[in-house]
Chains A and B, each alone.
Chain A
Amino acid sequence: GAVVSQHPSRVICKSGTSVKIECRSLDFQATTMFWYRQFPKQSLMLMATSNEGSKATYEQGVEKDKFLINHASLTLSTLTVTSAHPEDSSFYICSASNRVGETQYFGPGTRLLVL
């Protein structure tokens, strides 16, 4: 089946630092990747959609300068949380859509804690 990995699985950082999260599609090429945020006991909230080789499309209310997304290849997208603050602490999950685009496969998630 389609496998999506994320790295790191957990990260703790100090307020004001930047954190990069990687999302990789391991056995398929992902033309489109998505980044979500999830708070405890809530459903997933889409942050942005990224297509390989082009700029990401951000959802309303998501700061593009705060959450930098790069989709440089068909198997890798990165999310960088810049100048992280405690309110950015959350569970960040990526997903990848294959070339057919009929569905999305999710990564295991990255738990970010900003102190």
Chain B
Amino acid sequence: QKEVEQDPGPLSVPEGAIVSLNCTYSNSAFQYFMWYRQYSRKGPELLMYTYSSGNKEDGRFTAQVDKSSKYISLFIRDSQPSDSATYLCASQTGTASKLTFGTGTRLQVTL
């Protein structure tokens, strides 16, 4: 079993839809949780990071972490074609420690 599980998709939604991306993890020692967006042939771009459980909102993006169920979510409101990319969830146990990634979910937002 992988430490971080993520549905690879692809996930296709119409423009304007609310997108829900999810990951589950098995390592109870994970403390920091991130979401990255990666366009083809580019490095990952940090969207959100959270410490421990809770919600965090930034513009159209909301990240949720539920440590009791080991569940990580990213919601994208009013999705745009420019949101089409691969979304990676990642976790780390402590500060400056290595990241454990999910496999990434490929999202396609259609006109």
Contacts and interface: CB of A to CB of B under 8 A. Distances in A.
Interface of A: 2, 4, 6, 31-32, 34, 43-44, 46, 49, 91, 93, 95, 97, 100-109, 111
Contacts of B34: 103-104
B46 A105 contact: yes
Contacts of B41: 91, 109, 111
Contact of B44 (A2, A31, A93): A93
Nearest to B103: A43
Given A43-B88, A44-B101, A106 B95 contact: no
A100 B97 CA distance: 11
Interface of B: 32, 34, 36, 41-46, 49, 51, 88, 92, 94-99, 101-104
A97 B69 CA distance: 28
> Would you call the interface of chain B mostly helix, strand, loop, or mixed?
loop
Contact of B102 (A31, A43, A46, A97): A43
A108 B42 contact: yes
A107 B42 CA distance: 9
List 8 tightest A-B contacts by C-beta distance, closest first.
Answer: A101-B95, A101-B96, A106-B43, A103-B49, A32-B96, A109-B43, A97-B96, A106-B44
Given A43-B88, A43-B103, A43-B104, A107 B43 contact: yes
A42 to B, nearest CB: 8
Contacts of B97: 101
Nearest to B88: A43
Contact of A46 (B49, B94, B98): B98
Nearest to A45: B101
26 contacts: A2-B46, A4-B43, A32-B96, A43-B88, A43-B104, A44-B44, A46-B99, A49-B98, A91-B41, A93-B44, A95-B99, A101-B94, A101-B96, A101-B97, A102-B51, A102-B95, A103-B46, A103-B49, A103-B92, A104-B46, A105-B46, A106-B43, A106-B44, A108-B42, A109-B43, A111-B41
